[in-house]
Structure 1
Amino acid sequence: MNLYEEIKNKQRKISVIGLGYVGLPLAVSFSKVVDVIGFDISADKIESYIQGNDVTKEVGNKALKETTVYFTSKEEDLKEAKFHIVAVPTPINNDKTPNLNPVIGASKTLGRNLTQGSIVVYESTVYPGVTEDICIPILEKESGLKCGVDFKVGYSPERINPGDKVNRLETIVKVVSGMDEESLDVIAKVYELVVQAGVHRAESIKVAEAAKVIENAQRDINIAFMNELSIIFNKLDIDTKSILDAARTKWNFLNFTPGLVGGHCIGVDPYYLTYKAEEIGYHSQIILAGRKINDNMGKYVAENTVKLMIKADKQIKGAKVAILGLTFKENCPDVRNTKVIDIINELREYGVEALVHDPQADRKEVMEQYNIELKNEADIKDVDAVILAVPHEEYKTLNYTKIKELYNGRYAHINGNTLTLDKEFIHKDVLVDIKGLLDRKEAEENDLLYWRL
């Protein structure tokens, strides 16, 4: 009987190391068919899960309360498992180079508790070569075991899309790889226990690693193209959304839209690929150009907000702007690498105060990461402009009557050297709708200076 049969018959356990937006759904899904140990170094996170509180909102509190996953922050519990899945984040440093510390730390922890006959599968996004060149030596050193003899390794890139209730772990084809045919077969069959869409067996670990980074690099480049078009059409005073609505009537037009590109995948993964390219002497042309455009979009939005405020004769220094939404994408509580923070920081450079509201984000996490106190809905009032930054489901019920209640109705009127506030001077308020959630014509009919990417 091989390891797959033992896992299937619940004679052996699976461990999932790292219980965030990727690891938690993975652990809960596997627990429906096999015995699972869910490990995370955060004791607070583990306690939340034990209490049935899903901080990721990926599986839901009900599913968390009903799951049979054994949640733990004690690393020695990993010795009870024979099939280990590492699903820790792989961020970038301030200089845009890969930060492999989480995956290195997870490898050390697992290595100290690795037993003979185990299989280790990495899901963390990395550049080609990390699993074999960095992770395996750590596992060998910490465990005293020999890879290929005492344990085996594979790689299966995560494809979970946070906040997406349609494209889930079970419905997305899973790319799997192993260091040899035997390990590949076991890894493929184990994942097939939960992935209804089936698996794709990559010919090597490096192929699987590369497939992951180019998936997100491709999307990043396409969005960068849309953002560049938005900049051009804005200068031409043509509505980008209207242009895209017309263009996408052609069957082979790619359905991408402009926007802020943040988060732990698309805004990060291309740098892993370009880092490896630099190592081998190749300087990326297209990938880094796309990244530069996308990295600057937050500043671009802020600058256009200020221009609109000036057009509306608003006093800039000391103005207040409502920011609706802070997470990196809609209907998701994840604030990691959100580009909305770039809008906020740029507005601060102009002396503008940002009042930030987000019904999805965790207040404590936002304060710890960005030193921003999220406002309650009632606190968003008397503002000089509104930026609808993230189109959460909660914001789709916004109507213009409610939006107009947020403004202060003040306008700057310069008469000679005297600055006065004159409500009758101009009858327009500034509304920046980044993703085009609202109707432009209706906004203008409600005396709003409306702008979107």
Structure 2
Amino acid sequence: MELYNKILNRDAKISIIGLGYVGMPIAVAFAKKVDVVGFDVNKQKIELYKSGIDPTKEVGNDVIKNTTVDFTSDETRLREAKFHIVAVPTPVKEDRTPNLTPIKSASRNLGRNLTKGSIVVFESTVYPGVTEDICVPILEKESGLKHGVDFKVGYSPERINPGDQEHRLESIIKVVSGMDIESLEIIAKVYEFVVDAGVFKAESIKVAEAAKVIENAQRDINIAFMNELSIIFNKMGIDTKAVLEAARTKWNFLKFSPGLVGGHCIGVDPYYLTYKAEQMGYYSQIILSGRKINDDMGKYVAESTVKKMIKANKQINGAKVAIFGVTFKENCPDVRNTKVVDVIKELEEYGVEVKVVDPVADKDDLWNEYRINLSSVEEIKEMDAVIFAVPHEAFKVYSLKDIKLMFGSPRLVNLEVMNEVAATSEFEFDIDNNEYCDCVLMDLKGMFNRFEAEQIGFKYWRL
């Protein structure tokens, strides 16, 4: 426990390698208790942090301004630390095989600056075996040190949920593992500095790696089931949300909903597991089936939008569609692997002009990754369809009347007929100047009341 005591007494530092949506909250949390070096190869990002700006919006500018994290893009500063946490992204390639380039690069950077007596903990999501079979040899080669003698390793899967202000690092049980009992105990004690919920000691590094990758695979499969139900019920003319509300009255019905599955975890991690399984001679049936359903949902949403527009007598080629929300989840600026982009690309294939509104999204990342520019709400006029793709809190201020103004001139109707409809409804409708909205509203996550939207003429659709 000598290293633990040195960290506790600030005689040794902790380094966090990779200061993104996962690494930054970890660095800030540890900096409240011990000395922390925060390293990232992105110099621009480091300058933002030094200026007190949080581009991830995970902890906020005020926290960044006041944290004692020592931000740097100088890899030699890693030599000051003895306990290293690697929290870099692990995406997939275009062929959906693991892209280990970031974690290999981080291992090389760290290896060149690794000193005797250090412990290295990987947090990046990987398939079982990556830490010991791929990262350790790189560390040994770059450092000239011997694993198990000069330094030790462990694995502790990240469980931070970007944009979630309830389930934070401190409040989620932390799974930890080490190459031996001594390293496991030190790693557990160090994480207990910041994790109020406590730690769970996995019996091996591979067990911890496997636990992480199946957490997201399980969610992926459950959401795929919901998406398949949505496809089936839409064909039957049944409202999926209404079905789920009824089913959830049973105590053990799992609370999942249909939707676009993107991001750096759920839409990626299952491929890490199936990749390793295929190397062992087993070809996934359930996991990859779920992945296929979820990967195809962007196209399904776009096709459903076009069908709704055709029923509303809209000219598709040259039509104007506004999409509200482009991040992979609500109230989070992260656009990595967002499936809203699939909707955009598919609509553009039909000759549709798409405008995107998102006050939360990181506009620089959106442009650099997808070459998409954001529009202001004021630019959303004369639309043929509006899609609410991501239920940001910022979008909840819009009423159906506000949305009606985003379309072209409404058609005239018999006011007496519409008054009769309003009189038999539990809702009050404001039908001005005999105007009746005949507009396509694609409300993917059910932000608005379906009955109210349909009664005032919206061609309404949701998953």
* Bin of the TM-score, shorter chain as denominator length: over 0.9
C-alpha distance in structure 2 between counterparts of 1:284 and 1:168, whole Å:
32
**Aligned position for 1:297:** 297
TM-score normalised to structure 2 length: 0.94
DSSP-derived class of the 2:346 partner: helix
C-alpha distance in structure 1 between counterparts of 2:406 and 2:438, whole Å:
13
**Aligned position for 2:237:** 237
Measured after TM superposition, the shift of residue 98 of structure 1 is: 0.1
Measured after TM superposition, the shift of residue 109 of structure 1 is: 0.2
**Aligned position for 1:35:** 35
DSSP-derived class of the 2:448 partner: coil
Contact 1:384-1:410 at 8 Å conserved across structures: no
Measured after TM superposition, the shift of residue 426 of structure 1 is: 8.7
**Aligned position for 1:330:** 330
DSSP-derived class of the 1:71 partner: strand
**Aligned position for 1:438:** 448
User: Where does 1:12-411 land on structure 2 (aligned, <5 Å)?
Assistant: 12-409=12-409
Measured after TM superposition, the shift of residue 445 of structure 1 is: 2.1
Equivalent pairs, count: 441
Contact 1:325-1:389 at 8 Å conserved across structures: yes
Matched AA of 1:232: I
Q: Deviations over 1:262-299 (max 9, x none)?
A: 00000000000000000000000000000000000000
Matched AA of 1:429: C
C-alpha distance in structure 1 between counterparts of 2:324 and 2:124, whole Å:
31
C-alpha distance in structure 1 between counterparts of 2:360 and 2:436, whole Å:
35
Relative to structure 1, is the Cα distance of residues 427 and 357 closer, same or farther in structure 2, using a 3 angstrom cutoff?
closer
Measured after TM superposition, the shift of residue 410 of structure 1 is: 7.4
Measured after TM superposition, the shift of residue 446 of structure 1 is: 2.2
Measured after TM superposition, the shift of residue 365 of structure 1 is: 1.5
Contact 2:436-2:457 at 8 Å conserved across structures: no
Contact 2:175-2:201 at 8 Å conserved across structures: yes
Measured after TM superposition, the shift of residue 377 of structure 1 is: 1.4
DSSP-derived class of the 2:460 partner: strand
Gaps in structure 2 of 5+ consecutive residues: 412-433
What's the C-alpha RMSD, in Å, of the aligned pairs?
1.2
Contact 2:436-2:456 at 8 Å conserved across structures: no
DSSP-derived class of the 1:378 partner: helix
C-alpha distance in structure 1 between counterparts of 2:207 and 2:359, whole Å:
40
C-alpha distance in structure 1 between counterparts of 2:99 and 2:410, whole Å:
47
C-alpha distance in structure 2 between counterparts of 1:444 and 1:360, whole Å:
29
Match among 444, 450, 453 for residue 460 of structure 2:
450
Measured after TM superposition, the shift of residue 381 of structure 1 is: 1.2
Matched AA of 2:374: L
- Structure 1 residue runs of 4 or more that deviate by more than 4 Å after TM superposition: 424-427
Gaps in structure 1 of 5+ consecutive residues: 412-423
Measured after TM superposition, the shift of residue 397 of structure 1 is: 1.2
Q: Deviations over 1:117-152 (max 9, x none)?
A: 000000000000000000000000000000000000
Matched AA of 2:330: E
DSSP-derived class of the 1:137 partner: helix
Q: Deviations over 1:233-276 (max 9, x none)?
A: 00000000000000000000000000000000000000000000
DSSP-derived class of the 2:71 partner: strand
C-alpha distance in structure 1 between counterparts of 2:362 and 2:127, whole Å:
31
Matched AA of 1:303: E
Matched AA of 1:37: V
Matched AA of 1:436: G
Contact 2:410-2:436 at 8 Å conserved across structures: no
Matched AA of 2:73: S
C-alpha distance in structure 1 between counterparts of 2:174 and 2:362, whole Å:
30
Contact 1:381-1:406 at 8 Å conserved across structures: yes
Contact 1:314-1:410 at 8 Å conserved across structures: no
Matched AA of 1:109: N
C-alpha distance in structure 1 between counterparts of 2:405 and 2:283, whole Å:
51
DSSP-derived class of the 1:305 partner: helix
Matched AA of 1:368: N
Contact 2:325-2:388 at 8 Å conserved across structures: yes
C-alpha distance in structure 2 between counterparts of 1:65 and 1:445, whole Å:
50
Matched AA of 1:156: S
DSSP-derived class of the 2:281 partner: coil
Q: Deviations over 1:13-48 (max 9, x none)?
A: 000000000000000000000000000000000000
**Aligned position for 1:420:** none
Relative to structure 1, is the Cα distance of residues 450 and 235 closer, same or farther in structure 2, using a 3 angstrom cutoff?
same
DSSP-derived class of the 1:260 partner: coil
Matched AA of 2:386: V
C-alpha distance in structure 2 between counterparts of 1:105 and 1:286, whole Å:
33
Contact 1:126-1:272 at 8 Å conserved across structures: yes
DSSP-derived class of the 2:183 partner: helix
Contact 2:384-2:407 at 8 Å conserved across structures: yes
Q: Deviations over 1:347-404 (max 9, x none)?
A: 0111001100101012221111111110011111111000000000000111011101
TM-score normalised to structure 1 length: 0.96
Contact 1:400-1:446 at 8 Å conserved across structures: no
DSSP-derived class of the 2:307 partner: helix
Matched AA of 2:265: C
Q: Deviations over 1:285-333 (max 9, x none)?
A: 0000000000000000000000000000000000000000000000000
Q: Deviations over 1:68-92 (max 9, x none)?
A: 0000000000000000000000000
C-alpha distance in structure 2 between counterparts of 1:44 and 1:425, whole Å:
51
C-alpha distance in structure 2 between counterparts of 1:71 and 1:425, whole Å:
58
C-alpha distance in structure 2 between counterparts of 1:426 and 1:43, whole Å:
54
Contact 1:155-1:208 at 8 Å conserved across structures: yes
Contact 1:312-1:426 at 8 Å conserved across structures: no
